[in-house]
């Protein structure tokens, strides 16, 4: 079983290495060929739906299919569907925004954005990787929990990442942890993947510790995560971390992440920080979040 998994991993890395490096050309040529999907948002009152309960209908020749926004595996399988929903229809701006605040933070130091080695947690089909590449970043490592995200990246943005790991960061083996750390990343980013049942606190901390002890960290979170009334594990962890000695905040900006299916703006914070040391294993336990 283990050998098969390793072989599969080796095959995927080989595929990545063989992918053409000129991702922009690949994306453009594929994008222009991509068909538009027939999608419909539910009619009527949907404002009671939480962000992870939102859904849409996909019209196919075989009939209509209801797909939840969080059914990423289904969405990534169809080329262009993720981009059409979240970027074209719902006007998501987050990869560009988080990249620009990271750039603004790094500019306050002697470092250079284009020279950073960046770990992209919850990389999906590579939208954040593409934004970073557009800003000149050359070394990128992607991580996602589902193989469909990897497959879509290879299909739609070949050559974008130097390596792409399909891993659950709450259950990394020591071997895999070492392998990921050996990339010596000095920056970790995660976009549109925190809270709402996506990346759990333990995986976020593992990713923070997968980059160098002193490193850049940039991410976005829903504005209510800063509100003390929001007592979910994830918001508590983010507040504890941001106000801890492990992170120095360099840049924070409130902005419109995207629209809801009712056309209501959803506001998020984009945050760029400098990590000053690794987060101790017992951090979550000490804060009562383990």
Q: How far is the CB of 9 from ligand SAM (least distance, A)?
A: 16
**206: contact with ligand SAM by CB under 6 A:** no
| Number of separate helices (H) and strands (E) present in the chain | 11, 10
Q: How many residues bind ligand SAM (CB under 6 A)?
A: 22
Distance, C-alpha 225 to centroid of its chain: 17
| Residue of 56, 80, 84, 95 that binds ligand SAM (CB under 6 A) | 95
**58: contact with ligand SAM by CB under 6 A:** no
Query: C-alpha angle 216/90/106, rounded to 5°?
Result: 15
**78: contact with ligand SAM by CB under 6 A:** no
**124: contact with ligand SAM by CB under 6 A:** yes
The stretch among 59-67, 134-142, 194-202, 262-270 that binds ligand SAM (CB under 6 A) is: 194-202
Three-class SS of residue 47? coil
Q: Which helix (H) or strand (E) holds 38?
A: strand 38-40
67: which residues sit within 8 A by CB, 6+ positions away? 55, 56, 57, 58, 74, 75
**79: contact with ligand SAM by CB under 6 A:** no
Instruction: Annotate each residue in 162-181 with x if it binds ligand SAM (CB under 6 A) or - if it does not, as one string.
Output: -------x------------
**199: contact with ligand SAM by CB under 6 A:** yes
Three-class SS of residue 102? helix
Nearer residue to ligand SAM within complex by CB, 243 or 267: 267
239-244 long-range Cβ contacts below 8 angstroms, 24+ apart: 240/283, 240/287, 240/289, 241/279, 242/271, 242/273
Judged by the rule CB under 6 A, the positions of this chain that interact with ligand SAM are 72, 94-95, 121-124, 127-128, 143-146, 149, 169, 191-193, 198-200, 203
């Amino acid at each position: 079983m283990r050998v098969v998994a390793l072989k599969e991993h080796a095959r995927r890395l080989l595929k990545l290495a063989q992918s053409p490096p000129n991702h922009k050309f690949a994306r453009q040529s594929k994008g222009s060929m991509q068909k538009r999907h027939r999608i419909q948002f539910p009619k009527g009152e949907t404002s009671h739906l939480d962000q992870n309960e939102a859904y849409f209908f996909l019209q196919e020749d075989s009939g209509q299919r209801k797909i939840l926004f969080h059914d990423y595996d289904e969405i990534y399988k169809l080329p262009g569907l993720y981009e059409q929903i979240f970027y074209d229809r719902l006007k998501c701006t987050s990869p560009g925004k988080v990249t620009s605040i990271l750039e603004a933070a790094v500019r306050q130091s002697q470092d250079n954005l284009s020279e950073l080695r960046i770990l992209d947690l919850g990389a999906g089909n590579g939208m954040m990787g593409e934004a970073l590449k557009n800003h000149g970043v050359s070394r990128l490592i992607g991580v996602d929990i589902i193989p469909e995200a990897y497959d879509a990246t290879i299909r739609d943005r070949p050559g974008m990442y130097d390596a792409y790991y399909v891993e659950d960061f709450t259950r990394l083996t020591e071997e895999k942890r070492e392998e990921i750390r050996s990339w010596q990343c000095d920056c970790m980013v995660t976009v549109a993947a925190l809270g709402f049942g996506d990346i759990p606190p333990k995986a976020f901390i593992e990713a923070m510790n997968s980059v160098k002890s002193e490193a850049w960290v940039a991410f976005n979170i829903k504005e209510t995560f800063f509100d003390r009334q929001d007592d979910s594990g994830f918001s508590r962890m983010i507040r504890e971390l941001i106000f801890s000695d492990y992170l120095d905040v360099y840049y924070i900006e409130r902005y419109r992440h995207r629209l809801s299916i009712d056309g209501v703006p959803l506001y998020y914070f984009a945050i760029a920080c400098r990590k000053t040391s690794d987060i101790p294993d017992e951090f979550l336990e000490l804060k009562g979040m383990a």
